[in-house]
Amino acid sequence: MQRFRRQRIWGRIWSKIVKIFRIIKNIFLILLLIGFIVYAGVAGWLYWEFSRLPKIKQKSVLVMDIDGFFRDRPSMDAVSERIAGEFGKTRHVMVSNIRKAAKDPRILGILLDFKSYYMDSMTRDEVRAELLKFKETGKKVFAFTESTGLWSYLFMSVADKIYMPPSGEAYFPGFRVEVPFFKNMFDLIGVKPEFVYIGKYKTAPQVFTLDRLSDAYREVLTDMLDNYYQYYVAEIAAARHVSEDVVKQWVDDGIHSGEDALKAGIVDGLIYKSQLERTIQVELGLLKEETEGQSAETADTKQADSETKEAEKSDDQENEKEEPELNKVSNGQYARIDITVPNLYKNGDKIAVIYAQGSITSGKSDLENEIIGSDSMVELLATLADDEDIKGILLRIDSGGGGARASDLIRNAVYEANQKKPVVISMSGAAASGGYMISAPAASIVAYPMTITGSIGIFGGKFSMQGLLDLIRINIETLQRGQHAGIFSGVSAWTEDEAALFRKYIQQGYDKFLQCVADGRGMSVEAVDAVAQGRIWFGKQAIDLGLVDKLGGFDTAIAVLKEKLEIPADKDVKIVEYPKMENPFEQLLKRIRQAPVSTSIPEELQRIQQVLEELARLQNETLFAWFPYQIVEQ
């Protein structure tokens, strides 16, 4: 009997437990269903919000917020770019928007609203050139900034009117090169840099082996400074309709307050942001400079009694309230507007555009961190070469090179792809050293006048830490098999045999580099060597040396490729951009993980840190076809 009762009790307990689990399961399913409904609702709303077409009113102004990073990279779809917070921040989108606005009768002008500025030099130049074409239609460009520097001012100088607040400033520090040399520090701590470089101007290792500029190094940097300075002065003078001497004086004066900038002609007006819209409306003829009731007082008005004056003042205030707001559309919104104009590259035969940006190294590419991985590039080029839907390939390069072996692997992939369909190179800010190596076998090379290219040379080496180890009393016992087992060891310096062996290895690398360029460009090895030697050239110089076929930007490269494909010049093509961008959520998570801790490290040390990070990316490379200098635009 007792046993039966115990069974009944356990049965009741079990049934209660089952009921509880059923309730929990039902609650879980209900919550899951609610979560799914909420997720679907939010996703649907986001898609609707981010993809719906904005309504453009008549007499509108296209507002381009110059804020954050503007990059020459593949575009994502509209929804993904909005989620990532980068909608409209690519060269292609900005140029396309300006082209549409030039033909759109609803758009009267463009406002460049500068907040922060980071834009690679050739994206700036392409957008700037398109703004000049926009002005040829009779429409106006305005710019507003709280402060401006050398390169941001170059961008905004195309505007018909430039405004800043009275408290603003124009900072023109000029052009300066600062080269840190580490030899004395290495001597102090017992580190011996051992490098071999081929080419009189392949000066990159000299920062480790010398304590001051060599004559060749000084010659290269002087030429760079002169070219940048002359280019800057000429472009500003032409845009602002002043003499070059005037621009040189602006640079020599350095810092200009808002008042000084207005007097000098650097800006056209001192206004606050709250006054900007009305000022633009007046410039566009949408409002009178002085609304009714605000004209200068006549003698009769001056004699009017105080009640009449108060009445007029009241009417003025009422008129001001009734003034229409300026109709505006943002750069991101306008990108979703479909207007048929030439060279938007949305229809026609498919052209693959590959963006190769950053250091060339072995392994996988990482567009976000500007790494060109040989594995990824070789695979992509081979895939596109075999894709029947892709008629031609445009390789958009912005790279100072990197590892020689990785560069050669990509060069060979470009050569093989070019045997199947035309490959045209569009050099952006730089295509130097390894960046030039991968360009050489293409069907044609197009560069901007100020593209940095050439730097055909090789270097390599190591740091011997024996002196440092002795200094800190660390003893290293070494066992080896093979006469040259320690050639890449950081513990000991090279023997004479090892140094000779490495010099032979570097020379072979240089000779191969020359042969690759000679084969690709249809030149003799001797002719290539004469313009090589590690010497950098600007695009406008390289074309006379046979290293470049044509000067121009992205459109010019597309035109060349169309010519190679026998596509009529007036027929549009559709570009397909590679590599494909990551999911926006993955991008955001990556940026959060990689976000640097905020510190007050001096700017000079930050630049050294950047160089060290670049070296870390190339740590597995033996030979370097690399132009390691960074052009800092502020």
Q: What is the CA angle 373-378-382, rounded to 5?
A: 150
The two beta strands, 255-257 and 452-454, are unpaired
Spatial separation of the C-alpha atoms in residues 384 and 353, rounded to whole Å? 10
Spatial separation of the C-alpha atoms in residues 56 and 333, rounded to whole Å? 9
Q: Is 504 part of the annotated catalytic residue set?
A: no
Return the residue matching tokens 């912005």: 398
Q: Is 433 part of the annotated catalytic residue set?
A: yes
Q: Going by C-beta distance under 8 Å and a sequence separation of 6 or more, which residues neighbour residue 485?
A: none
Active-site position among 433, 444, 455, 464: 433
- Beta partners for 257? 169
Spell 443-481 as b/e; 16+ CB within 10 A means b: bbbbbbbbbbbbbbbbbbbbebbbebbeeeeeeeeeeee
Active-site position among 89, 202, 391, 421: 202
Find out whether the peptide bond into 579 is cis, omega within 30 degrees of 0. yes
Count H helices and E strands in the chain, helices first: 24, 25
Handedness of CA 612, 615, 619, 623 (dihedral sign): negative
Q: Within a 10 A sphere around the Cβ of 245, how many other Cβ atoms?
A: 10
Spatial separation of the C-alpha atoms in residues 615 and 218, rounded to whole Å? 23
Query: Closest by alpha carbon to 275, among 326, 316, 225, 312?
Result: 326
The string of DSSP codes covering 32-76 is: HHHHHHHHHHHHHHHHHHHHSPPPPPSSEEEEEEE-SEEB-S---
Question: In this structure, what are the phi and psi dihedrals at residue 469, rounded to the nearest 5 degrees?
Answer: -65, -40
The two beta strands, 624-626 and 401-403, are antiparallel
Spatial separation of the C-alpha atoms in residues 282 and 446, rounded to whole Å? 43
Catalytic residues: 202, 433
